[in-house]
Structure 1
Amino acid sequence: MPTSPFSPIVGRTQAGLLFNDGIHWLAYHHDLRKGVIAVFDLMERKLFYMDLPYNSYWCCELWVFGEFLSFSTMNFSNNTVMIWTMKEYKVNSSWTKTHAVSVDGTPNESFSPFCCTKNGDIIGTDQETGLVRYNDKGQLLEHRPYSSEFEAVVYTEFLLSLPGESEQA
């Protein structure tokens, strides 16, 4: 049985992200010696990868921004979180940097986005003390502290029918 060229990125515990009939993970591609997005296509039952928009896989997240696959990463040189969206799925050249969010106003100077509202506000955590909300221009609107450890997840209801054994290609 062949081994996968992918491995989890050390220190990452993020669950797979379901988007566009595939499960997506940030992974390290051994053959290419770089971070990538590993994708398991549920309909085709195939594993493939997509390049990251930015040459970093440290302090980064995958999430869905509006209707697009998104990638965010911390830029330590100017204390911002850069948000990239893939405008055309599976087209690496369609990655577009949409936001640069300053984290100077958060208590521990960090931000990990996980969803957006219908009006474009970006919601996330500061990774330790609370929920954070930015507007679509990247301005800090709100910080809501919490006192105990929790994990926030986004739930989207839909039906996905996987092919049975008799329907395999």
Structure 2
Amino acid sequence: MGEVTELLCKLRLGDAGASEGLLRSVYKELRSIAELQFADEYCERTLQPTALVNEAYLRLVSGGRLQKFDSRGHFFAAAAEAMRRILIDAARARGSQKRGGHYRRVELGELADESRHATDLLLDLDDGLQRLVAVDNDSANLVKLRVFAGLSITEAGELLGMSRSTAYKNWQFARTWFAVRWEK
């Protein structure tokens, strides 16, 4: 049994000290996942990778008690999902601000605000994922791990208990599904 899985078991049994050990064990990996979230984002943002990791960890530790996780993979899948939800919430907040909630002066000749484009794409992706869950939950979970945790198709498939070929089939299905959805 790995260190993370051991700490998750201790937490389930009520060992309060295991929470600090778990954070120390997973922080670097969670930070890498968070940095991947911001790698392609060129906009001004208030949320930084460290804040994203901290917020996601706090969401996973509800009321001072860690949710029940079966394995290291289950924990990281939940962390990636928590980060996705935080980013979606932040994108929605930026979206409401752009509709007049927060005015700012724009100089003539200034380039188009790329954060609007990134916000719209993130919200479209979230909407698409919500719809894909209804069609094929396994493919939607695979997309979440690929896009929000930065895992390869094989790694994401392993975390979800899929064979390599099934993971690639689900990935291809999701790509095709999104392509058809965006053509309309």
TM class by shorter chain equals under 0.3
More helix by share: 2
Which structure carries more relative contact order (alpha carbon 8 Å, separation 6+)?
A: 2
As a proportion of its length, which structure holds more strand? 1
Name the TM-score, length of structure 2 as normaliser. Answer: 0.26
